[in-house]
Amino acid sequence: MLRARSGLGRLALEVPEAHVTLVAIEGTSDLTGFPRRPRIRLRFFDPAGGGPRPEEGAAELSARLLAELRELVPPSRSYRKRRSKAS
């Protein structure tokens, strides 16, 4: 599982007039299931906790927003069919 990076938080704090919108992407782990066509779903939403808070640093903001995304779409493992080794 990837950790939150502070870049998103830094950008949101540097440009306070910008609106923060989160995007949850579901179904990307099915891309490795070729030839089946995957269903990918995008959901755009505003953070439930609101935008940047005055006491919040860049890293804390990024971690909070990533936690909201993970609540909506929990991390999943992609699957790959293993090829049998030919002797």
pLDDT band at residue 8 using 50, 70 and 90 as cut-offs: confident
pLDDT of residue 32: 64
Q: Are 59 and 73 a contacting pair, CB within 8 Å?
A: no
With a cut of 80, say whether residue 7 has pLDDT above it.
yes
3-state helix, strand, coil in the chain (%, to 5): 30, 10, 55
pLDDT of residue 24: 87
**Using one digit for the tens of pLDDT, what is the confidence trace for 15-66?**
988 889 999 888 776 666 667 777 888 999 999 888 888 899 999 999 999 8
The pTM of the full predicted model, rounded to 2 decimals, is 0.70
